[in-house]
Structure 1
Amino acid sequence: MLSSFSRRALTAAASLLILGALPLSTQAQMTNITTTAKQTPTNPNIAKADVADPRQYLEEVEGEKALAWVKAQNERSLAHLTADPRFAQNQADMLKIVEATDRIPSPSFSKGGHVDNFWQDKDHVRGIWRRMKKVMYLGGSNSWDTILDFDALAKAEGKNWVYKGASCLPPEETRCLINLSNGGKDAVTVREFDVKTKTFVEGGFSLPEGKQVVTWKDADTLYVAREWTPGEVTPSGYAFVTKALKRGQTLDQAVEIHRGDKSDMMAYRTVIRDVAGRYVIDIAERRPTFFEVDTTYYTDKGEVKLPLPLTSEMNAYYKGQAVFSLKDSWTSAKGTVFKEGSVIAFDLFAALKDPKNLEPVVVFAPNDHQSVQGMGQTKNRLVLQVLSNVTGQVMVVNYEGGKWSLTPLRLPENSTLSLGSLDDETDELFVWSSGYLQPSSLYLADAGWGTVTNLKASPQRFNAEGLKVEQHWATSKDGTKIPYFLVMKKDTKLDGNTPTLLYAYGGFEVSLTPSYSGGIGKLWLEKGGAYVLANIRGGGEFGPKWHEAGLKTHRQVIYDDFQAVAEDLIRTKVTSPRRLGIMGGSNGGLLMGVQLTQRPDLWNAVVVQVPLLDMMRFHTLLAGASWQGEYGRPDDATEGAFLKTISPYHNLKAGVKYPEPFFVTSTKDDRVHPGHARKMAALMEDMGLPFLYYENTDGGHSAAANLKETAKRNALEYTYLAQKLMD
């Protein structure tokens, strides 16, 4: 068990990846890492105003002039979209889906043979944290015991609290640090909670709002990385100073225990524990860039570093073995070459005693069409979630007698498989299976015995009769084959008239796989639309090389891949530019902006969700500097020149006929600055170009703080798509 977080956990918290990983209609993801970076021009991470840009005032998130512009655009766009009778029906259908009480309660193993669940419905808009005995859950019971009601808490305190997860002190896990966000921002307030009494601890740990990494050292000590003094953050707006905070101390009494470099993306000190929650060792992690981590181990003999590449990541401490994943290929001191994407392991304390002779062994080496998507531990086993040709597999790993062995679990084939919760008191784990036409099913597996039981299946949320799923391959400009999934009616006439929605992400090594979405099914597929998911480069579907092919100045291949899929759909007469629309969020929002400006001839609808669009200033806004490892540095002559060629904000041209895009963002998004969407839309306004715009005042990077907002946003988007592609 790592108290620190893996690259993928960091991704979820400190990057663009939450929104882009799935269409917004399917997301229910929460984050834990947050920042105190202010969203005003006084923020040191926001550059001085560029007088050459008359729209820069829109970067002042709560500025009076900026909000007046937002209000006017919201009123104009909402009046147009909500007047369409389809909006009300879409909203009602979507609300019924997201508030459905017959959903599978997503289970999380907790101590003492319990299962926990975070639940939202029409009566619990903000949600409740609840618990029952595992044996009761497995038996189909719905008799939950509420631990904490966030709707009641918000009402009592007059706050728009959004639950952002909890960190409980092992091994008992009865004291938890609850992360509460005001309106869905990444920035959270952290408060100590007693699960036994179901109350916040009087006089307990309480940290004011901030983007902070908080770790339990012991019952009376926290390691806290945050903005301790104004401006004491990295260019990305994240903490780089960690202090030990003792119970009863005020923040100004905390003692500094680690300081990274101010030039880092972020830095913090934390601890490694074994699967039973026992303390193993202190570590500090400096993250110079998004894809690098420099780890220091605090041993009895002092600080030690291991001769591993910065792009390696520790994912587990298992039976005394440190288990790492390699993003890049690596050659050890003894000359052994380890393939990129491999999982390797070695005796941690033997390595710390003699770092020069570190020689790992390979636990799993992927082929060219495989990648490791996740990793977890039960009491006695390690478990890998593997993607092979964009389909899932779960591998059980055992280490016995100095040898490693891997055994696949017998789960549904040709399905998207994802790890749920893993039990550290037994060898049980939950696994989810899903597909475009297959509602999510929950399986209980035993990693020790290899048994698998189908526990529950979600009800159908739309009529899938007569629909089919196909995988095709398009050829990109450089000859690379790009896979994509196509969902449409079996009797679709290939005459170019099918309304088609194309979705992709293309960045940060995020893999997109087939998944069930009641919203897409009900609001689009049922109405005769086709849905396409493109597995373009920049993602992680085929491992690190697939991602690195589109890094920095090579990024045009990502956009070429997307265009190649579109052209393949048109060539095969699935659709035509008149009937083709595209959608993407966050990094996918950048993808949409590039496609709008590079190939306006290919689309008739473009949904641009919480996007990056000004690629010459992204590094100055909020967490933007942390993404320079992905996009490059605007202040670098070569990288900056390339970014200027793709930056949507800098590539709108007079005299070009653009499709009317729909920009969606949130005032409370403290990760990707809403100024991106605002400025792009305002530029189109100044150029006399048509556009629609909706900015939710709450919601954070998901652009929705609760289920009702989620339903409204989806209804707006699919009403727009119907107008553009079906009418």
Structure 2
Amino acid sequence: MLKKLLSAAALFALIFPVTAGAEQDAEDPFLWLEEVEGESALNWVKAQNTRSLAELEADPRFDDMYQEALAVLTSDARLPLGDIHGSYVYNFWVDETHVRGIWRRSTLEAYASGEPNWETVLDFDKLAADEGENWIHGDIVCLNPEYRHCMIEMSYGGKDAAVWREFDTRTKTFVEGGFYLPEAKSFLDWADKDTLLVGTDTGEGSLTDSGYPRTIRILKRGQTLTDAPVWFEGEASDVWVYPVVEHDDDETYLFAGRGKSFFETEMFFTKALDGEKEKLNIPLNADYSGVFHGRKTNPLAIYRLREDFDAGERTYFSGSLVGVDLETGALTEILRSSDKQPIQSVGIGEDEIFIQYLDDVSGKAARLRPGGSKGGWQKKQIKLPENGVINLVSVGDDEAVFTYESMNSPTALYFVSDRNKAEKIDQMPAFFDAEGVVVEQRFATSKDGTKVPYYVMGKEDVLESGNAPTIQYGYGGFLVPILPVYYEDPSRPQHGALAGSMWVKRGGVLVLSNIRGGSEYGPGWHQGALKENRQKAFDDFIAISEDLIERGITSPEKLGAIGRSNGGLLMGAMLTQRPDLYAALDIGVPLLDMKRYNKLLAGASWMGEYGNPDLDDEWAYISQYSPYQKIVADQPYPKVLFYTSTKDDRVHPGHARKAAAKLDDLGYEFYYYENIEGGHGGTANQDQLAHRTALEYVYFAKMLMGD
């Protein structure tokens, strides 16, 4: 009788009492699920995994979908995107043989010819096996221009917190007795071959309230972290501080960034470790791109502005590219940008700057060179294919590597030389038959009258017939644009290659939503959904859903939606605000409890995006949408899929756990999958990613196509 009356979550709480140290709260009976590796919480997770996987993996479509995903994710035909460093191009490569990946290099000459001559620099699979550790690769920071001395970031299972070890690219070995940082969320850069600038956890007072470094230390070779003197210090209320070092022949430029919020940064500059640091005359909302050392200018620190800046003698407008003269402190405008043509990425060469920008969400590229009329800058368009996505991969001295792709056109690799000629040097093969598959850009009208673009991908006959099983993807935050790519970020199952092979070919339709919160139309598009305006991103997504239904493309019975991280918050809002619109919701590594998000892991760092729930006036608007608090009884909720990762040390797995447990307590059905490793990506290798992707598409097939 007891089992019939109690939900699964409540029953687990009785059978497996909360371990010592777990918080209890009468207003939140599921707070015990925030204890990441608590015995009770993990037993609940394992039970949910067993129940959900048994059903999803038993679907006759699962095995085929898993193999299809694995084939795409581990194909040798993927493009080897790399970073140019001197006469070499470095690339990180994962395939069926190298599950954890290899770091390798080719000569630039061979790479530019389309026939790279790869040599392995570091094999992470062999390293993990030799050391008996579950190493997952992270960043690699090397000392320019020689690119011999490197710091390699490796995490246990894919967490943000990681170990750093010194590596020699000449001997291809870790340096015995070299620089080493223990597991922490760390930032570092090379001052010289015997000196690092390091922000890391060195004990009490060294971290911000967000859990990131508060101090930067000068770490000399052979010195311990605690003996290293503090070079720069922020406040506990800051998000983080971090070092940046730029090297140009005999010149070194040292910067300290102080993140006052996730988007607001003060930058300080000096040319010597013992020199006085000067605060740069730049607004807080600006993105640093590097130092330009052109022959016709003094060294310039390059920034993209995200707000208008009144510098006294003139105003520099939001979206513009500007330079701060590191000799005089003066500002110069390099390129004024509009909301219709926002700059997305910047690469700095020896004598020019390369940019990639959008034009109504379509990709463009150009190179900028000082010496234009009246001492300005010349802009020269780079001729790349139209009506697709252009990505700036890497920049050398005066050459650059770009990619071009669209949702139904495989990614192509272009090498741009100093002659401004873009030569296609490689192209990814098609991962699905795109015959008859169309991609169309359309616009919906949001609640406040704003026109919101979205992309539709499907077979032409499916779109003409209408009422098709449809998956709508959205994110809507943190300046992240959602672009119609073929193969960009493999952790996002909505890109063209995976969606085409796993969904579209089966008669499904994929929709990408360019809602506010991203940067598709510049900084203003992002600011339009900040803090008290967050509901506008939700309204945009709903408007697209309603437009799809009104056009007859789909119906509420066949419409599903997918989002992860901040997009998981979006999905939580769709669940609680408009459950009538969706038959399926895939909610990945989500933020859901917005009352406590700033107290969980890195959550405090995002208050610049969402607001502070501890302040009454800010909780007043956050509380209007916080999904966890909005889950109530007697609603037409679809049977949702939650997924998260135990090792996610960015977005706490407690968000997904508690929301699922609350649904269960109220009698709703749901699927739940929590990978025990994998960090915020949710997976630790391509095999795990293929498995999770297959679970997601099988879920949508069950809910939108039937058994």
Shorter-chain TM-score above 0.5: yes
Among 54, 60, 73, the alignment partner of 2:35 is 60
Q: 2: distance between equivalents of 1:136 and 1:305?
A: 43
| Counterpart for residue 325 of structure 2 | 347
8 Å Cα contact 1:221/1:247 also seen in 2: yes
Measured against aligned partners, the alpha-carbon deviations of 1:681-722 in whole angstroms (never above 9, x if no partner) come to: 011111111110000111111111101001000000000000
Q: Would you say 1:709 and 2:679 are equivalent positions?
A: no
Among 32, 36, 52, the alignment partner of 1:77 is 52
Among 410, 423, 427, the alignment partner of 2:383 is 410
The secondary structure found in structure 1 opposite 2:378 is strand
8 Å Cα contact 2:107/2:117 also seen in 1: no
| Counterpart for residue 28 of structure 1 | none
Q: 2: distance between equivalents of 1:271 and 1:529?
A: 48
Alpha-carbon distance, 1:497 to partner: 2.1
Among 457, 468, 487, the alignment partner of 2:438 is 468
TM-score (norm 2): 0.92
| Counterpart for residue 547 of structure 2 | 568
Amino acid at match of 1:452: A
Alpha-carbon distance, 1:312 to partner: 2.5
Q: Would you say 1:186 and 2:165 are equivalent positions?
A: no
Alpha-carbon distance, 1:257 to partner: 1.4
| Counterpart for residue 616 of structure 2 | 637
8 Å Cα contact 1:552/1:631 also seen in 2: yes
Alpha-carbon distance, 1:299 to partner: 5.9
For structure 1, the residue ranges without an aligned partner over 5 or more in a row are: 1-39, 352-357
Higher relative contact order structure (alpha carbons within 8 Å, sequence separation ≥ 6): 1
Alpha-carbon distance, 1:316 to partner: 2.5
Alpha-carbon distance, 1:449 to partner: 1.8
Q: Structure 2 vs 1, CA of residues 363 and 41 (structure 1 numbering), >3 Å: closer, same or farther?
A: farther
| Counterpart for residue 419 of structure 2 | 449
8 Å Cα contact 2:335/2:377 also seen in 1: no
The secondary structure found in structure 1 opposite 2:201 is coil
- C-alpha RMSD of matched pairs (Å): 1.7
Among 264, 269, 292, the alignment partner of 1:297 is 269
Q: Structure 2 vs 1, CA of residues 114 and 297 (structure 1 numbering), >3 Å: closer, same or farther?
A: closer
| Counterpart for residue 195 of structure 2 | 221
Amino acid at match of 2:382: L
Alpha-carbon distance, 1:368 to partner: 2.8
Q: Would you say 1:614 and 2:605 are equivalent positions?
A: no
363-372 vs 208-217, greater mean Cα deviation? 363-372
Alpha-carbon distance, 1:235 to partner: 1.5
Q: 1: distance between equivalents of 2:557 and 2:37?
A: 38
Among 69, 72, 93, the alignment partner of 2:68 is 93
Q: Would you say 1:479 and 2:449 are equivalent positions?
A: yes
Q: 1: distance between equivalents of 2:401 and 2:246?
A: 24
8 Å Cα contact 1:537/1:557 also seen in 2: yes
684-693 vs 392-401, greater mean Cα deviation? 392-401
Amino acid at match of 1:304: E
8 Å Cα contact 2:281/2:324 also seen in 1: no
Q: Would you say 1:726 and 2:698 are equivalent positions?
A: no
Q: Would you say 1:362 and 2:362 are equivalent positions?
A: no
Measured against aligned partners, the alpha-carbon deviations of 1:545-565 in whole angstroms (never above 9, x if no partner) come to: 111111101111110000000
Amino acid at match of 1:291: F
Q: 2: distance between equivalents of 1:603 and 1:693?
A: 18
Measured against aligned partners, the alpha-carbon deviations of 1:241-275 in whole angstroms (never above 9, x if no partner) come to: 1111111112222111111001101113443334x
The secondary structure found in structure 1 opposite 2:231 is strand
Amino acid at match of 2:318: E
8 Å Cα contact 1:235/1:620 also seen in 2: no
How does 1:588-599 map onto structure 2 within 5 Å? 588-599=567-578
The secondary structure found in structure 1 opposite 2:61 is helix
Alpha-carbon distance, 1:514 to partner: 0.9
Alpha-carbon distance, 1:494 to partner: 4.9
| Counterpart for residue 24 of structure 1 | none
Alpha-carbon distance, 1:421 to partner: 1.4
8 Å Cα contact 1:422/1:429 also seen in 2: yes
Q: 1: distance between equivalents of 2:500 and 2:463?
A: 19
Q: Would you say 1:284 and 2:256 are equivalent positions?
A: yes
Q: Would you say 1:255 and 2:226 are equivalent positions?
A: no
| Counterpart for residue 401 of structure 2 | 430
The secondary structure found in structure 1 opposite 2:94 is strand
| Counterpart for residue 522 of structure 2 | 543
For structure 2, the residue ranges without an aligned partner over 5 or more in a row are: 1-18, 487-495
Amino acid at match of 1:484: Y
Q: Structure 2 vs 1, CA of residues 619 and 387 (structure 1 numbering), >3 Å: closer, same or farther?
A: same
Q: Structure 2 vs 1, CA of residues 473 and 150 (structure 1 numbering), >3 Å: closer, same or farther?
A: same
The secondary structure found in structure 2 opposite 1:302 is coil
| Counterpart for residue 640 of structure 2 | 661
Measured against aligned partners, the alpha-carbon deviations of 1:108-163 in whole angstroms (never above 9, x if no partner) come to: 2233x222221111110001111222222333435421111100000011111111
8 Å Cα contact 2:455/2:511 also seen in 1: yes
Q: 2: distance between equivalents of 1:41 and 1:376?
A: 51
Among 391, 400, 404, the alignment partner of 2:371 is 400
| Counterpart for residue 376 of structure 1 | 347
Alpha-carbon distance, 1:232 to partner: 3.4
8 Å Cα contact 1:259/1:268 also seen in 2: no
Alpha-carbon distance, 1:96 to partner: 1.2
How does 1:164-243 map onto structure 2 within 5 Å? 164-230=138-204, 232-243=206-217
The secondary structure found in structure 1 opposite 2:392 is strand
| Counterpart for residue 489 of structure 2 | none
| Counterpart for residue 664 of structure 2 | 685
Q: Give the count of matched residue pairs.
A: 670
How does 1:14-33 map onto structure 2 within 5 Å? none
Alpha-carbon distance, 1:526 to partner: 0.5
8 Å Cα contact 2:266/2:280 also seen in 1: no
The secondary structure found in structure 2 opposite 1:196 is coil
8 Å Cα contact 1:222/1:244 also seen in 2: yes
8 Å Cα contact 1:494/1:573 also seen in 2: no
| Counterpart for residue 386 of structure 1 | 357
Among 91, 105, 108, the alignment partner of 1:131 is 105
Give me the identity figure in percent: 45
